[in-house]
Structure 1
Amino acid sequence: MQIFVTGATGWIGSAVVDQLLDAGHDVIGLARSDASATTLEKKGARVRRGDLDDLDGIHAGASAAEAVVHLANKHDWAHPAATNRAERAAVETIAEALVGTDRPFVLATVLSGLVQGRPALETDPSPAVGPDSPRGGSENLALEYADKGVRVISVRFAPSVHGIGDQGFIAQVVSAARRHGVSAYPGEGTNAWAAVHRPDAAGLVRLALEGAPAGSRLHAVAEEAVSTRQIAEAIGHTLGLPVESVAPENAGEHFGFVGRFFGMDMSASSAYTRDLLSWIPAGSTLIEDIRSGAYGQA
């Protein structure tokens, strides 16, 4: 299958490209820099130059492909409105290019904000609706195209897609521990995050592309709930630092931008996803990765 991938050299995207190539697919990755293009070519993928603002190029790439995997996002935390607009525009552009083709369109979404007080389920709809909502309401927008001849599949990624080289949320928490000389958690540390090892997440994207039905909402979740206190204790053990609580109202000052997420409960089940696609995550746990030094360079 010829597959157009945005975010093809990102943290998750690079692992997805490896999985797709290993499975014999023909990958065309969107690359905005010479370095990204070179990385893709060395792997054996083809390159389409452009970025998320190049909507004509994205439309052309999607139209020419047999499937699309959309993993790119600006992640500009200082300008969330612009990030949300870009995400919505890219998703709409891809979906419009695929109308009436029955081709698969896998897009990355998130678990944050779905529910509180219990693990999120695949049946829980995203509350983000409309262009001014988080990620521009891209999941709900995309799923509308399931009735327009597009095999839309939303993959909701755990807040921690962990492994050696991860520079995401956990890396920022580790950096805060180094800065302050203490490994902290918000409040009582009972709020919890779902987690998944990066190769397992990439494997799920491939399975979704190859077999998930239109309108699917899937959870890239291996561990349903890892408490923030457990995370802080593992970081403290690894760095040789004391472990302490930080008042929730001081989380932003202590952790930086990631503080608003570290205080949220983002636990989730993946029971439906596992049953649907026979997905069996087998990688290391988040705590195992932290304790083994995967975040030593954070």
Structure 2
Amino acid sequence: MRVFITGASGWIGSHTVDEFLAHGHQVLGLARSEASAAALQAKGAEVLRGDLDDLDALRRGAESTEGTVHLANKHDFADPAVSNAAERAAVQTIANTLVGSDRPFLLAGGLGGLAPGRVGTEDDVSPFVGPDSMRGGAENLAFDYVDRGVRVLAARFAPTVHGTGDHGFIAAIVAAARAAGRAAYVGDGANRWSAVHVTDAARLVRLAVEGAPSGTRLHAAAEEGITAREIATAIGAGLGLPVVSVEGDEVASTLGWIGFFFGMDMPASSVKTQALLDWEPVGPTLGEDLAGGGYFA
């Protein structure tokens, strides 16, 4: 299969490219820069130059391949409206291009806000609807195309997709701890984060594109829920810093922008995903990755 991947040079995307290539597929990767294009070509992938705002490039990429994996996102936390609008436009463009083709279209999402106060499952419908909601309501928008001949797949990723080289949420929490001179969690630290190793996440994406039925919600979560206090304690041990609780104004002053997310409760089950795809996570746990020291080098 020839697969179009947006975000192909990103953290999850680069591992997903490797996964598809290693299993005999061809990859057309969207690349914004010369450096990203060169990195993709070095792996043996084809390159389509463009970015998330280049709707014509997205259209051409989806049209010329046998499946699309949409992993790119602006992640503009200072102006989320910009990210939401770009995501909705991208998803709508790709989905419109694939109408009547029965080709797979996997789009990335997150587990935040899915099931407050309990463990989220694949049966939970996304509460985000409409252009002004998180990610522009892209998951629900995409599912509108299930009855229009698009094999829509929603992959919801754990808040931490960890591993060597990670520059996501855990790396941001580590950086905040360094800057503050203390490793912090919010309140009593009992809120939970699900987690998955990046190689397991990439394998899930490949398996889903190869065989998951249209309309499937998939959870890329190997560990159901690790408490924020456990995460902060591991970071404190790795950096040799005290571990403290913060509340109120201290959250922003100690943790910065990541404090809002680190205080959220985002546990999730992947029992149905594992059974459907015969997907068994085998990568290191988050605790093992933190204990390994890579985040503190």
Moved over 4 A (4+): none
Q: Which residue of 2 aligns with 1:256?
A: 256
Tell me how far apart the structure 2 counterparts of residues 2 and 173 of structure 1 sit (CA, whole Å): 37
Within-5 A mapping of 1:283-298: 283-297=283-297
Matched, 1:149 2:141: no
Q: Which residue of 2 aligns with 1:51?
A: 51
Secondary structure of the residue that 1:74 maps to in structure 2? coil
Q: Cα offset for 1:248?
A: 4.7
Q: Answer whether contact 1:8 1:30 (CA < 8 A) is retained.
A: yes
Q: Answer whether contact 1:248 1:263 (CA < 8 A) is retained.
A: no
Q: Which residue of 2 aligns with 1:12?
A: 12
Secondary structure of the residue that 2:145 maps to in structure 1? helix
Q: Cα offset for 1:192?
A: 0.5
Within-5 A mapping of 1:84-233: 84-233=84-233
Q: Answer whether contact 1:91 1:138 (CA < 8 A) is retained.
A: yes
Tell me how far apart the structure 2 counterparts of residues 176 and 50 of structure 1 sit (CA, whole Å): 33
Q: Answer whether contact 1:111 1:266 (CA < 8 A) is retained.
A: yes
AA aligned opposite 1:57: A
Q: Under a length normalisation based on structure 1, what TM-score does the superposition of the two structures give?
A: 0.98
Secondary structure of the residue that 2:296 maps to in structure 1? coil
Per-residue CA deviations over 1:158-182 (Å, capped at 9, x if unaligned) read 0000011111111111111111111
Tell me how far apart the structure 2 counterparts of residues 250 and 134 of structure 1 sit (CA, whole Å): 26
Tell me how far apart the structure 2 counterparts of residues 261 and 271 of structure 1 sit (CA, whole Å): 24
Q: Cα offset for 1:252?
A: 2.0
Per-residue CA deviations over 1:223-246 (Å, capped at 9, x if unaligned) read 000000000110111111111111
AA aligned opposite 1:11: W
Per-residue CA deviations over 1:3-43 (Å, capped at 9, x if unaligned) read 00000000000000000000110100000100000000000
Secondary structure of the residue that 1:218 maps to in structure 2? strand
Tell me how far apart the structure 2 counterparts of residues 157 and 166 of structure 1 sit (CA, whole Å): 14
Secondary structure of the residue that 2:295 maps to in structure 1? coil
Q: Which residue of 1 aligns with 2:82?
A: 82
Secondary structure of the residue that 2:48 maps to in structure 1? strand
Tell me how far apart the structure 2 counterparts of residues 51 and 157 of structure 1 sit (CA, whole Å): 22
Tell me how far apart the structure 2 counterparts of residues 130 and 147 of structure 1 sit (CA, whole Å): 19
Tell me how far apart the structure 1 counterparts of residues 163 and 3 of structure 2 sit (CA, whole Å): 25
Tell me how far apart the structure 2 counterparts of residues 90 and 294 of structure 1 sit (CA, whole Å): 34
Matched, 1:35 2:29: no
Tell me how far apart the structure 2 counterparts of residues 248 and 199 of structure 1 sit (CA, whole Å): 36
Tell me how far apart the structure 2 counterparts of residues 176 and 104 of structure 1 sit (CA, whole Å): 39
AA aligned opposite 2:17: V
Secondary structure of the residue that 1:295 maps to in structure 2? helix
AA aligned opposite 2:257: F
Q: Cα offset for 1:145?
A: 0.6
Tell me how far apart the structure 2 counterparts of residues 292 and 232 of structure 1 sit (CA, whole Å): 15
Per-residue CA deviations over 1:232-269 (Å, capped at 9, x if unaligned) read 11011111111111115531221111111000000000
Tell me how far apart the structure 2 counterparts of residues 57 and 87 of structure 1 sit (CA, whole Å): 14
Within-5 A mapping of 1:266-285: 266-285=266-285
Tell me how far apart the structure 1 counterparts of residues 149 and 12 of structure 2 sit (CA, whole Å): 27
Q: Percent identity?
A: 61
More deviation in 247-256 or 137-146? Answer: 247-256
Secondary structure of the residue that 2:107 maps to in structure 1? strand
Tell me how far apart the structure 1 counterparts of residues 44 and 176 of structure 2 sit (CA, whole Å): 38
AA aligned opposite 1:213: P
Per-residue CA deviations over 1:160-212 (Å, capped at 9, x if unaligned) read 00011111111111111111111111000000000000000000000000010
| Aligned alpha-carbon RMSD (Å) | 0.8
Tell me how far apart the structure 2 counterparts of residues 156 and 49 of structure 1 sit (CA, whole Å): 26
